[in-house]
Structure 1
Amino acid sequence: MCPLQQEVEMEDVDDDDDDPLVDIDNCDKTNPLAVVEYIDDLYQFYKKAECTGCVPPNYMEQQHDINQRMRGILIDWLVEVHYKFELMEETLYLTINLIDRFLAVKQIARKKLQLVGVTAMLLACKYEEVSVPVIEDLVLISDKAYSRQEVLDMEKLMINTLQFNLSVPTPYVFMRRFLKAAQSNKKLELLSFFMIELCLVEYEMLRFPPSLLAAAAIFTAQCNLSGCKYWSKTSEWYTTYSEEQLMECSRMMVRFHQKAGTGKLTGVQRKYSTSKYGYAAKIEAPTFLLEA
């Protein structure tokens, strides 16, 4: 059981001098926007609620005209669309969540899959963005494969199928909190997001809950930058995951990192090979994590 679930006081934890448990909210106590009084309760709620945004990891078996490879191609393309439109990071994660939740319950013909993708991005933009792309831009980016009315019809179908539930904890929600626990710098942050965006394209990663994906991405990035396994007591406390619990997911991330830039799905690799994203994709994968 994790420390937070045991409901023990932070001061009661027996720390060693080399790895003390840090109160990451102490410096924000005078900042009302940090809601320090409620932040732990919020994340305990997110942890309990994250299953509502998850889908069966084998849902694609119920689809007759599309498969996981097509899903990967769609998401790889949406990563590029998201980058081109300069949208907020939250929007990408919600877009993919909406796609998976919709496809998990609705049969879709392959010729409509891209329409599902752009419509999911439209819905995510309406939820997250201040300025929403116009439908004509989404039609244009789809090479005019669909009409404005088709986008509107799909929007109605998706939002009703999902019962208007767009408020789900995505990996991004946990990334912000867990990066703070890791006392991250910009380099660690960019490398962590590179790791987790590689996972967004991979269908097999749907078996991991968003909070575990976020923690594993940060753990993998930390190991990469430090050159050894590293997971602090502070990170374990706030994520509620131990190093052992993260290893399976982390090793999969390393393998994705190794093959990034090869094959046809290179959208994430190209995005994180730019100066804006700190050339994070050009950092060598921490292959030592693959050792037993």
Structure 2
Amino acid sequence: MFLQHTEAMLVEIDRMDAEVEMEDLNLDEPIVDIDACDQKNPLAVTEYIDDIYAYYKRTENSSCVPSNYMARQFDINDRMRAILIDWLIEVHYKFELMDETLYLTVNLIDRFLAVQPVERKRLQLVGVTAMLLACKYEEVSVPVVEDLVSISDRAYSRKEVLDMEKLMVNTLQFNLSLPTPYVFMRCFLKAAQYDKKLEPLSFFILELSLVQYEMLRFPQSQLAAAAIFTAKCTLTGCEMWSRTCEMHTSYNKDELMECARLMVALHQNAGKEKLTGVFKKYSTSKYGYAAKMEAAVFLEDAEC
């Protein structure tokens, strides 16, 4: 028994020594200047970029909604929200809109539903109106109202869309300038030194999260960071999170693990669920068949 106890202690000491060595290696890892390549690009505003993202972090709470807001709705539920978002992702793809537009659309829908009761027969109207507003804010060429009426199978009139637009902007007090997960993704991907595989896979995982009501409990920046972390783990087969990523996201690996595990589950079930808008979109060559990659299931068993 004494020998067994001694051997167990030696194994534990070796494990602890290995962890210390890994931590020392991590501390020796240099932090990359992710904006160095943009110094001569005036559109990158490298002089202000740190202040911009510091502002985004300070204000991201105003983009969030209570994670239980659906309890206040009397005629709709989280499943109806999921159907709406999944459909809007297909509409967004069909209209070839900018990525920013999709994330702002979803943000407007959630912020509006968090304070305004809506009948189920008008939920789709909220969705197309939110997309119209997001297009006006983000796009150069905005779809006309008739296009949105048509894509809704003419369930609503032009007047109904415009009336809902007035109600939404007044309810939200015209506040459209809020950080969404997309703005954090652009910075965090640079920190992760992304390539043609990491970027579409990260966005695939993040868009899966847009559909799920339960993911609203995570801050915008944490969703973005966890999507990239999950994508890196998927591609490498191990837990990968550099000091550069940690510094720019302000999240360490342990802080991302809960969200990452949920994302792995979403990835696993993406092609099996009834709502397959995101899966179909990212199963195309345009997005590098990101949806076809095997999920990082080993994260589900990882220790926090």
Same fold (TM over 0.5): yes
Q: CA deviation at 1:245?
A: 0.3
| Residue among 255, 261, 264 paired with 2:265 | 255
Q: Counterpart of 1:170? A: 180
Instruction: From 242, 245, 249, give the equivalent of 1:232.
Output: 242
Give yes or no for contact 1:15–1:21 (8 Å, CA) kept in 2. no
Q: Secondary structure at the match of 1:65?
A: coil
Supply the AA of the counterpart residue of 2:232.
Answer: Q
* 8 Å CA contact retained: 1:174, 1:214: yes
What pairs up with 1:23-34 in 2 under 5 angstroms? 23-34=33-44
What letter matches 1:188 in structure 2? L
Q: 2:226 touches 2:256 (CA, 8 Å); kept in 1?
A: yes
After superposition, residues 4-19 of structure 1 pair within 5 angstroms as 19=29
Aligned amino acid, residue 209 of structure 2 = C
Amino acid at match of 1:113: L
Seen in structure 2, the aligned counterparts of structure 1 residues 147 and 234 have a Cα distance that, compared at 3 Å, is: same
**How far apart are 1:283 and its partner, in Å?**
0.2
Give the match for residue 151 of structure 1.
161
Matches within 5 A, 1:272-291: 272-291=282-301
User: Residue in 2 aligned with 1:192?
Assistant: 202
What's the CA shift for 1:37?
A: 1.4
Show the counterpart of 1:3: none
Q: Which residue of 1 aligns with 2:190?
A: 180
Question: Match for residue 207 of structure 1?
Answer: 217
C-alpha contact (below 8 Å) 2:26/2:243 kept by paired residues: no
Question: CA distance change for structure 1 residues 279 and 16 in 2, over 3 Å: closer, same or farther?
Answer: closer
2:253: which partner in 1?
243
**What RMSD, in angstroms, separates the aligned Cα atoms of the two structures?**
1.2
Q: Which amino acid aligns with 1:280?
A: A
Matched pairs, number = 279
Task: Indicate if the aligned counterparts of 1:64 and 1:107 stay in contact, CA closer than 8 A.
Answer: yes
- When residues 147 and 218 of structure 1 are mapped into structure 2, their CA distance, relative to the original with a 3 A threshold, is same
- Alignment gaps of 5+ in structure 1: 1-13
What TM-score do you get using the length of structure 2 for normalisation? 0.90
Q: How does 1:87-106 map to 2 (within 5 A)?
A: 87-106=97-116
Cα distance change of structure 1 residues 15 and 35 upon mapping to structure 2, 3 Å threshold: farther
Unaligned runs of 5+ residues in structure 2 are 1-23
Please tell me the residue identity of whatever aligns with 1:65: D
CA contact (8 A) 2:83 2:275 kept: yes
Larger radius of gyration: 2
Q: From the two aligned structures, give the one with the greater helix fraction.
A: 2
Equivalent-residue separation in structure 2 for 1:56 and 1:188 (angstroms): 31
Residues in 2 aligned to 1:275 and 1:35: alpha-carbon distance in whole angstroms: 33
TM-score, with length taken from structure 1: 0.94
The one-letter code of the counterpart of 1:148 is R
Give the conservation status (yes or no) of the 8 Å contact 2:135–2:143: yes
Matched-pair contact (CA < 8 Å) for 2:35–2:46: yes
Percent identity between the two aligned chains: 73
CA drift of 1:16 comes to 5.5
User: Is the contact made by 1:199 and 1:253 (CA closer than 8 Å) also made in structure 2?
Assistant: yes
Q: Structure 2 counterpart of 1:229, which letter?
A: E
Alignment of 1:259-274 (within 5 A): 259-274=269-284
- Paired with 1:96 and 1:17, the residues of 2 have a C-alpha distance of 39
> Counterpart in 1 of 2:17?
none
Contact 2:209 2:215 in 1 (8 A): yes
Q: Which residue of 2 aligns with 1:10?
A: none
Matches of 1:72 and 1:195, distance apart in 2? 15
d(CA) in 1 for partners of 2:288 and 2:195?
12
Q: Which runs of 4+ in 1 moved over 2 A?
A: 14-19
- Paired with 1:27 and 1:132, the residues of 2 have a C-alpha distance of 32
- Deviation (angstroms), 1:81: 0.3
Amino acid at match of 2:163: D
Q: 1:58 and 2:59 equivalent?
A: no
